[in-house]
């Protein structure tokens, strides 16, 4: 569920955001589940063009973007046109 305080943004606006270096505080179990959700989001996005919602925190607060995930590694999520979100700032991956 998206918190009511979260702000929706367009993926084109992500490069203008500032992300602190420190990770959001999540348990190791939650991070493992995020990686599994990211893998699912990447497969659905690349094979079936299914979008997901990425909930994350920048230096101003919680935001989310609805997009397809092209790929990811342990440091970042890569969206269309090479736009990236630092993995350590992601709170959740949601499927509409």
What's the CATH number where 87 sits?
Answer: 2.30.30.100
Tokens of 85: 């979100």
> How does pLDDT run along the chain (96 residues), one tens digit per residue?
889 999 999 999 999 999 999 999 999 999 999 999 999 999 999 999 999 999 999 999 999 999 999 999 999 999 988 999 999 999 999 997
Q: Coil, helix or strand for 41? A: helix
Tokens of 30: 């939650």
Q: Which residues pair with 71 in a beta bridge?
A: 78
Is 61 part of any domain?
Answer: yes
Phi then psi for residue 65, to 5 deg, are -135, 140
Is 1 part of any domain?
Answer: no
Q: What is the pTM of this model?
A: 0.94
Is 80 part of any domain?
Answer: yes
Looking at the structure of the chain, the number of domains it has is 1
Is 2 part of any domain?
Answer: no
Domain span at 20: 7-94
């Amino acid at each position: 569920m998206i918190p009511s305080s979260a702000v929706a943004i367009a993926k084109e606006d992500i490069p203008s955001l500032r992300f602190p270096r420190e990770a959001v505080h999540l348990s190791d179990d939650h991070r493992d589940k995020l990686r599994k959700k990211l893998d699912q989001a990447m497969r659905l996005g690349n094979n079936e063009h299914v979008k997901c919602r990425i909930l994350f925190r920048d230096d101003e607060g919680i935001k989310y973007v609805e997009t397809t995930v092209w790929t990811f590694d342990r440091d970042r999520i890569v969206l269309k046109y090479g736009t990236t979100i630092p993995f350590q700032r992601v709170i959740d991956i949601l499927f509409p």
